Amino acid sequence: MSAHASHAPNRSGLWDYLTTVDHKKIAILYLIAGGIFFLAGGLEALLIRLQLMYPEIEFVGAKTFNELITMHGTTMIFLAVMPIIFALMNAIVPLQIGARDVAFPFVNALGFWLFFFGGVLLNTSWFLGGAPDAGWTSYTTLALNQYSGRGVDFYVLGLQIAGLGTLIGGINFLVTIINMRAPGMTFMRMPMFTWASFITSGLILFAFPAITVGLVLLMFDRLFGGNFFNPDAGGNVVIWEHLFWIFGHPEVYILILPAFGIISEVVSTFSRKRLFGYSSMVFATALIGFLGFMVWAHHMFTTGLGAIANTLFGLATMLIAVPTGIKIFNWLLTMWGGQIRFPTANLFAVGFIPTFTIGGMTGVMLAVPPADYQYHDSYFVVAHFHYVIVGGLVFGLFSGLYYWWPKMFGKMLNETIGKWNFWTFFIGFHLTFFPQHFLGLMGMPRRVFTYLKDQNLDMGNFISTIGAFGMTIGTILFLINVVVAAKSSKRAPADPWDGRSLEWAIPSPPPEYNFVQTPLVRGLDALWVEKMAGNKGMTPAEPIGDIHMPSPSFLPFLMSLGLFVAGYGFIYHNYVVVVIGVLATFACMFTRSVKDDPGYHIHEDELEEKGVKA
């Protein structure tokens, strides 16, 4: 065998996707898996809201309700929006920095499969005797054996496996963005979405180890009687809260920063203006990331940390309002003086601004500890965090999907359906969550499966449930739109929106090697700079030549499958199964280490368009 095989392996269909290491296909995998989990989480939300439509009704009952809220929260955060963010990062970041690939394509695939199998493991709990029911925060002692069933074991192992995937995914993006930028793409010329992905990946690197440690301790408590969190045996219940929130608070910024990045791209493109205050945007993003680590205890104001700790954490939390405010005003000023168009992508971006502002405002209100003693664990908080994660993040993701869909799949999403999608979702959203602010202040605690008749809570809850139907319709319209786009035979142009950054310089969908020739970047908004200079495309930074590609591999799938199997072994205390699963994973790692796999080359004369087939 020569050192380099010279032909691209011919693989197709399912097998292709099971073995791919191409970041664009991995993006599609993330999108499909995240989409499915999003639907599951949405269905759970709808059932929750139906149970709360009227006071004192029996619809799903107390135990199932607790399983529903737990799985809804866990699924939405870890298994729905995280992967959709990773989908967009995978699809777009390498293109935006002019790279042929991510730094570690194999690891990228491994990250996806770990996430996927972790998520599947968690969700099988529904069919294997009951889902976790201690809330997505799984506070001890409720989450210990004495008080909750096997469901929490699924939570512990599912999240551990999925979290590993997220962690290595984040590391991959850090390295990619540091090392793989095209010539001329300095840090201060990177598009905002890439910047946001970069900082988000940094947060992942520091935040996920905290939850990993927490989950290991909880696993020891549950499986081996570790007593870390059991007060009857000298354990401490508050430590879990700290570990959880040292991860959990940055997690919120891991989620929202990419959305900020998307909004920056979309608002600027559809105003036909460069982003106002680019460098202050970068600075604000980094500052939010940093402060995000300093404020976790604001989730614990009522835990009893004392006046000094509460006050300091409260004031630190308020500070985040300053960089966030900078961002809002910069977006407004980006639109100022522009020529604003309103395709669906921009409708979601524009709808994001007031909605997220409200979420930010209630966030500052929550940062006042003495007032938080009233808000905490009430529906006010439910309203607040949905304004941030749905009004901010999900709006941002919809915006990004409408914006980049043509680039990812080579098909345009339908604008008429898109507008219906936006309006039903937007109105449904506010109807659902606005009344919840008042429900909370009027004395409704969160995570309650019912409320009593004589407490004036009926009206708000009823409106809220009606709104949830609006959001459901919006989501269904999006699915219809996807089907319509897939069926249409019209191909999307390379640059449908008059874009500004590098991803619009190559065909839609991009060929597997992305750029035939690595582009030379000559300023912020690299493609726009060339357009203004009257050039048809990017100036290449290298001559045309053979392109080296990594070979596909089935190992990431098998490695993750091994851990998946080991997970069940732990849950059912069957250590033979654990050993088999872990050995399978190690065997794959060993194979990967000793097998020489130099990849292959695409020859110069083969360089026609090789799009990803969606």
Partner 1 sequence: MKGWQQYWRQFSLFALLALVLTGCGKDELSALKPSGPVAAMQFDLMKLSSAIMIGVFIVVMTIFTYVLIRYRKRPGQQGIPKQVEGNHALEILWTVIPFLLLIIMAIPTVTTGFALHKEYPKEEAVQVKVTAHQFWWEFEYPDLGVATAQDLVLPVGKKIQFVLSASDVKHAFWIPALGGKIDTNPGQENKMWLQADKAGIYYGKCAELCGASHALMDFKVEVMEQADFDTWVANMKGVQAKEPVTATSPLAAEGQQIFDKSCLGCHAVAGKGGKMGPNLTNFADRERVAGIKAHTPENIAEWLKDPQKIKPGNKMPNLNLDDTQVKALVEYMETLSVSEKK
Distance CA 72, CA 77 (A): 8
Nearest to 240 by CA among 141, 312, 335: 141
Q: Please identify, among the stretches 73-81, 102-110, 160-168, 582-590, the one whose residues bind ligand HEM according to the rule CB under 6 A.
A: 73-81
Residue 364 CB, shortest distance to partner 1, in Å, is 6
- The answer to the question of residue 55 lying near ligand HEM (CB under 6 A) is no
Q: Rounded to whole angstroms, what are the CA distances from 340 to 265, 346, 524?
A: 13, 9, 20
Contacted by 468, from ligand HEM, partner 1, none: CB < 5 to 8 Å by type: ligand HEM
Residues 136-165 within binding reach of ligand HEM (CB under 6 A): 136
Q: In sequence order, what are the residues at sequence separation of 6 or more whose Cβ sits closer than 8 angstroms to the Cβ of residue 24?
A: 90, 91, 408, 509, 510, 512, 612
Structure tokens at 258: 């990419």
Terminus-to-terminus CA distance in the chain, angstroms?
A: 33
Distance CA 132, CA 122 (A): 9
Q: Are 489 and 412 in contact (CB under 8 A)?
A: no
The residue from 271, 355, 465, 481 that contacts partner 1 (CB under 8 A) is 271
Nearest to 382 by CA among 446, 449, 299: 446
- The answer to the question of residue 341 lying near partner 1 (CB under 8 A) is yes
- The answer to the question of residue 484 lying near partner 1 (CB under 8 A) is no
In total, the chain counts a number of residues equal to 614
| E strands present in 201-248 | none
DSSP 511: B
Structure tokens at 403: 């914006």
DSSP 11: -
Structure tokens at 367: 């940062």
Q: Tell me if residue 174 falls in helix, strand or coil.
A: helix
Q: Which residue is nearest to ligand HEM (CB)?
A: 73
# residues contacting partner 1 (CB under 8 A): 96
Residue 395 CB, shortest distance to ligand HEM, in Å, is 10
Residue 68 CB, shortest distance to ligand HEM, in Å, is 8
Nearest to 23 by CA among 113, 85, 78, 92: 92
The residue from 13, 306, 534, 543 that contacts partner 1 (CB under 8 A) is 306
- Nearer to partner 1 by Cβ, of 208 and 380: the residue is 380
- The answer to the question of residue 190 lying near ligand HEM (CB under 6 A) is no
Contacted by 384, from partner 1, ligand HEM, none: CB < 5 to 8 Å by type: none
- Nearer to ligand HEM by Cβ, of 151 and 519: the residue is 151
Q: Please identify, among the stretches 202-210, 446-454, 514-522, 580-588, the one whose residues bind ligand HEM according to the rule CB under 6 A.
A: 446-454
419-458 footprint of partner 1 as x/- string (CB under 8 A)? ----------------x--x--xxx-xxxxxxxx-xxxx-
Q: Rounded to whole angstroms, what are the CA distances from 31 to 161, 437, 479?
A: 19, 32, 13
Q: Tell me if residue 412 falls in helix, strand or coil.
A: coil
Residue 432 CB, shortest distance to ligand HEM, in Å, is 5
Q: Please identify, among the stretches 71-79, 107-115, 579-587, 595-603, the one whose residues bind ligand HEM according to the rule CB under 6 A.
A: 71-79
Residues 363-422 within binding reach of ligand HEM (CB under 6 A): 382, 386, 389-390, 393-394
- Nearer to partner 1 by Cβ, of 60 and 175: the residue is 60
Contacted by 12, from partner 1, ligand HEM, none: CB < 5 to 8 Å by type: none
Binding site for ligand HEM (CB under 6 A): 42, 45, 48-49, 69-70, 72-73, 76-77, 81, 135-136, 382, 386, 389-390, 393-394, 432, 446-448, 468, 471
